[in-house]
Amino acid sequence: MKKICYLNVLSIILTICVTTGLCVALPVNAMAADDPFVAVSAGFSHAMALQEGGTLWAWGWNCRGEVGSGNLDVQDYPIKIMDDVISICTGNFCSYAIKKDGSLWAWGSNHHGMLGTGTSSVDINDFYPETDENQPVYIMSNVKEVTTSSSYSAAIPLLLQVIIGFTYGDTPVI
């Protein structure tokens, strides 16, 4: 596959909201890297960037563990999450990564079971359910693609012509 361009400096947008309610977006050079960035994905409250060598970086609000740092601290600048990644996807407060070995990893909000862990909290008043994951959790193997929306996720296995969906606490549904 021919690559059109490489990003050697990852630029992120920091939003500064002053007390008057005026928000201004300013581009900031967050980090420079020898290994070029080949993908970026932005969720509701966070973002991830993938380097050509497979290193995954993330940053953002992190109130539901969506950054994947192992805590709920705000991450103003990119931090390393994992290696050997080939594909990334972000959603509302959740993140997904596919590694070189085809394994699918997920973290962040599991409010409707969208991480695919088999657990869920569907109580609309429970904004911080115990089913959230603040670091990458193995979901399944042999995955070639993953996508997500506000409360649902789906993955396509390598050898099957089916879509596996994750929602409302179900184990993977074919």
Q: What is the pLDDT along the chain (174 residues), one digit of tens a residue?
A: 333 333 334 444 444 444 445 555 555 555 667 888 899 998 888 999 999 999 999 999 888 899 999 999 999 889 999 999 999 999 888 999 999 999 999 999 887 777 878 776 655 555 555 778 899 999 999 998 888 876 677 777 777 655 566 655 444 444
Give a yes or no: residue 1 inside a domain.
no
What is the Cα–Cα distance from 9 to 103, expressed in whole angstroms?
28
CATH number of the domain that 77 lies in? 2.130.10.30
Give a yes or no: residue 27 inside a domain.
yes
- Where are the strands (E) in the chain, listed by range? 7-17, 23-42, 46-51, 56-60, 75-82, 85-91, 94-99, 104-108, 133-140, 143-148, 153-157, 164-166
Give a yes or no: residue 171 inside a domain.
no
Give a yes or no: residue 109 inside a domain.
yes
Q: Which pLDDT does position 111 carry in this prediction?
A: 76
Residue numbers of the domain that contains 159:
7-166
For residues 3-15, one letter each, b for 16 or more C-beta atoms within 10 angstroms of the residue's C-beta and e for the rest, the string is eeeeeeebebeee
